[in-house]
Amino acid sequence: MSKSLLIIFAGLIGTGKSTLADILAKRLDIPILSSDTIRKELSGIPPEEHKYEDFEKGIYGKEFTDRTYEEMFKRAREFLTSGSSLIIDASFKKRYHRKLAFDMASELGVRFYIIETVCNSEEIEKRLNARIKNKESIPFKYITGQASDGRWEIYKRQKDDFDAMNEIDKKSHITVDTTESIDTCIEKIIESLRVYEI
């Protein structure tokens, strides 16, 4: 690809953002920043330790979330100004956070894409319950979305609080239904990036 990319993964918990973001980063050989990891780092909590807070409380409250995004964008700017492409993995449920990412990309002259992951609620409930169960029995390094504290009761609140993603140009907004296979989702994303490269 001839120009640096800023790709942000956005969507509700359990929709497969981290899984796809990790795989795409490896396929494109570009770095990735995760809000889950940065949030834990800022709070002094190891990524494998879980902090099951109530919705928008504690380290998931608005003030700490804004601080997390601020740090994430600070690090993103360093990557992008060095000429590197970058993936950011976060919910981006608020329009103003998405606008901050878009404005940074515009300022730095890099191509910008939002990949929105969507999935039906029944599948998400199964995934989130399985994730919690697996975290109790499988070593931390083998779990996708390992730093996330997402769970079903939080999903329902987050869904009601998610700003509709209707401010993004269609060429920059790639929607992926993650009930499809991982390979299908990744190929759709890569093909979309190629189509809009011109």
The pLDDT tens digits of the residues spanning 83-98 come to 999 999 999 999 999 9
pLDDT at 45: 79
- Asked if the model's pLDDT at residue 15 lies above 90, the reply is yes
pTM here is 0.83
What angle in degrees, to the nearest 10, is found between the helix axes of 62-81 and 35-43?
A: 120
Identify whether the C-beta of residue 114 lies closer than 8 Å to the C-beta of residue 8: yes
Strands 111-118 and 86-89: unpaired
- Asked if the model's pLDDT at residue 135 lies above 80, the reply is no
Which letter does DSSP use for residue 59 in this model?
G
Rounded Cα distance, 44 and 118, in Å: 31
Average pLDDT over residues 114-143: 72
Tell the residue number behind the tokens 């770095």, with chain if given: 31
Rounded Cα distance, 180 and 17, in Å: 13
Of all helices (H) and strands (E), which one includes residue 73? Answer: helix 62-81
pLDDT at 67: 95
Q: Which of 53-62, 71-80, 123-132, 148-157 ranks highest by mean pLDDT? A: 71-80
